[in-house]
Amino acid sequence: MIKTIILILMISLTISSPDSSPISQALSNTDPDIKEKILSIKILPDEEFHQFCTNPLAVGCTKLWWDNSEKLKFTKIYISDDSPYLENTIYHELGHVKFSLNNKFNPDDSERFANNYANKYSSIII
């Protein structure tokens, strides 16, 4: 099932998931400045997920695109359907987007920020 949500700024966000309710719930709790940078969120079968995200231990990843002035242009989020904590994984990936709005990507700092973001907004604390 694919749902398209038109955001206030007329940016189209594609959600691809067998059950989009966890994504929709997370997006309803997310700042508009984060939502406007997300081009798509896809929950994929694990083998397809790992075609986009090469870390064999990952259950989620965020691909970031920057403009010429090094500001975040847009993102695509991929999540494995094998994630044991789907809600937390969604918020974790949204945390990467939030971090990247004001910072050039730094994996260590972004991971800490994303973990804290997920623990703040998700009902599942890991």
- Which tens digits make up the pLDDT trace of 3-18? 433 333 334 556 665 5
User: Which pLDDT belongs to residue 42?
Assistant: 92
Amino acid code (one letter) for 107: P
126 within some domain: no
Dist. CA 24–CA 79, nearest whole Å: 14
User: Which pLDDT belongs to residue 105?
Assistant: 67
User: Which pLDDT belongs to residue 119?
Assistant: 92
User: Which pLDDT belongs to residue 3?
Assistant: 41
Number of domains in the chain: 1
51 within some domain: yes
21 within some domain: yes
User: Which pLDDT belongs to residue 19?
Assistant: 55
Q: Other CB atoms closer than 10 Å to residue 66's CB: what's the count?
A: 13
69 within some domain: yes
Which mean pLDDT values do the consecutive 10-residue runs of the chain (126 residues) have? 36 55 85 91 93 92 89 93 91 94 80 93 76
User: Which pLDDT belongs to residue 98?
Assistant: 94
CATH number for the domain including 36? 3.40.390
User: Which pLDDT belongs to residue 115?
Assistant: 94
User: Residue 95 contacts by C-beta under 8 Å, 6 or more apart in sequence?
Assistant: 113, 114, 115, 116, 117, 118
Domain that residue 79 falls in: 2-121
